[in-house]
Amino acid sequence: TVEYFLRQDDVNELQARLFRRAIDMCRALIQEKGYGAKDVEKVLLIGGPTLSPFLQQMVSTGATTASGFHVEGLGIPIDTAV
């Protein structure tokens, strides 16, 4: 039997690059359509990973992992009401 303790920081590190890729795609689409963050009222996240507080922070304001990997947020409020 092998035991491994996975800390929240470890999970954030594993997810950060994938989340950044998704955020970059959203940013590119918004810019491609001629809009900016101020033109978008809110972001509605859908799906299991979107419940992650780390992802929500990354999307709205940006975040840095424990190892220093930084993701710039979209600067758009998150709607978690759904």
Tell me the per-residue pLDDT of 12-41, one tens digit each, with 9 for 90 and over: 998 898 889 988 998 899 999 999 888 988
Closest CA to 60 of 39, 37, 81: 37
What φ, ψ does residue 44 adopt, rounded to 5°? -105, 115
Tokens of 56: 């929500």
Residue 82 banded pLDDT, cuts 50, 70, 90: low
pLDDT at 45 over 90: no
Distance between CA 80 and CA 65 in Å, rounded?
A: 22
What pLDDT does 66 receive? 87
pTM summary value: 0.77
pLDDT at 56 over 80: yes
